[in-house]
């Protein structure tokens, strides 16, 4: 029920690259350094694997995959701004917990996205030096399409509807401290195209409605030219309005990293290990490990 994407900083010369925001209903995670423009006029292949354990015995493993294209320039006609476009979808497996005829494996969240990057504060000092200052902002729009699944359990169940996501991502770096901040992320899921039996043979096209993630933040310290280490945090309110489902809340926090030591091969790696510090009474605690794997072509 959310979204995210990727960035990279080259180890040699610390050239700032980046990727924007990705698959909507996967896992709402920012990564350290996200929100900066990508290499002008380039293509990238991106994967966002997730492993999640939900107590007491539920496990999911899935990943979204997509090609992304970064334009040469944006509205200004300079490298101060840029557009990114992508097409994306997720493959995965979730425990069906003995549901009759259920298949744990599935496909979900085929989506199209666009992100606009603008460099509000242009740096005039080298990356990582005490005088380095930069600020990027990047509004993002994602449209998710129905996956066609009518199953009641397993990965992709309940994802047979249109969804829409919007957020404004921000990246700030001062000296060797870098922080990616998404203050508010909004997702709206429309009614399922297939009907669900809600009891006594009553069939309903259920609507996910509006969900929101607050303070999705990944920040850290540049301990080496090719490595940031820090923390990730996000607080989500699922089905908060216009929904046929009961509202659920989840706050999560944990260590984060972004590694650029393979930049000479065009490869960038980021990850977050998230622990729930708060869940509403109708939601079970979980632990998740999320990653971003990016390869520039």
If you compute the radius of gyration of the chain from its CA atoms, what whole number of angstroms results?
19
Q: How far is CA 274 from CA 52, 269, 271, in A?
A: 9, 17, 10
The owner of tokens 């997720």 is: 90
140 phi/psi in degrees, rounded to 5 = -135, 135
Q: How far is CA 190 from CA 110, 154, 158, 217, in A?
A: 15, 20, 11, 27
∠ CA 109-111-141 to the nearest 5 degrees? 120
Query: Which tens digit of pLDDT belongs to each residue from 80-135?
Result: 999 999 999 999 999 887 676 677 999 999 999 999 999 999 999 998 899 999 99
Distance CA 230, CA 274 (A): 12
Count CB atoms within 10 A of the CB of residue 184.
12
DSSP type of residue 158: T
Q: Model's pTM, two decimal places?
A: 0.88
Q: Is residue 6 over pLDDT 50?
A: no
Q: Is residue 202 over pLDDT 90?
A: no
Query: Which tens digit of pLDDT belongs to each residue from 214-229?
Result: 999 999 999 999 999 9
Res 21: pLDDT: 34
How far is Cα of residue 160 from the mean position of the Cα atoms in its chain? 20
Does the N-terminal peptide bond of residue 56 adopt cis geometry, omega within 30 degrees of 0?
Answer: yes
Q: Six-digit token pair at 13?
A: 């010369």
Distance CA 99, CA 110 (A): 25
Strands (DSSP E) contained in the chain are 42-54, 58-70, 81-94, 105-121, 133-144, 163-174, 177-191, 196-197, 203-204, 207-224, 227-241, 248-259, 267-279, 286-296
Q: 54: closest CA among 93, 104, 95, 92?
A: 95
Res 28: pLDDT: 67
Query: Which tens digit of pLDDT belongs to each residue from 137-148?
Result: 999 999 999 999
- Contact call for residues 185 and 28 (beta carbons, < 8 A): yes
């Amino acid at each position: 029920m959310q979204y995210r994407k990727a960035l990279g900083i080259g180890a040699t010369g610390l050239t700032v690259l980046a990727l924007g925001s990705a698959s909507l209903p996967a896992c709402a995670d920012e990564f350290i350094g996200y929100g900066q423009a990508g290499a002008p006029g380039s293509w990238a292949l991106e994967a966002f694997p997730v492993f999640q354990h939900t107590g007491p015995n539920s496990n999911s493993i899935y990943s979204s995959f997509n090609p992304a294209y970064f334009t040469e320039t944006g509205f200004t006609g300079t490298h101060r701004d840029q557009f990114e476009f992508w097409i994306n979808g997720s493959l995965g497996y979730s425990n069906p917990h003995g549901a009759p005829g259920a298949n744990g494996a599935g496909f979900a969240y085929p989506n199209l996205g666009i992100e606009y990057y603008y460099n509000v504060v242009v740096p005039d000092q080298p990356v990582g030096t005490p005088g380095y200052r930069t600020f990027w902002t990047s509004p993002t729009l994602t449209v998710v399409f129905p996956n066609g699944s009518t199953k009641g359990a397993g990965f992709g169940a309940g994802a047979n509807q249109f969804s829409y996501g919007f957020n404004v991502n921000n990246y700030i770096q001062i000296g060797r401290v870098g922080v990616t901040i998404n203050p508010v992320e909004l997702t709206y899921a429309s009614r399922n195209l297939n009907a669900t039996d809600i009891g006594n043979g009553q069939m309903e096209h259920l609507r996910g409605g509006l969900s929101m993630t607050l303070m999705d933040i990944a920040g850290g310290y540049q301990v080496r030219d090719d490595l940031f280490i820090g923390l990730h945090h996000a607080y989500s309110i699922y089905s908060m309005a216009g929904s046929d489902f009961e509202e659920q809340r989840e706050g999560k926090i944990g260590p984060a990293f972004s590694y650029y030591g393979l930049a000479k091969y065009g490869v960038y790696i980021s990850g977050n290990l998230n622990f729930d510090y708060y869940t509403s009474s109708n939601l079970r605690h979980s632990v998740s490990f999320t990653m971003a794997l990016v390869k520039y072509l």
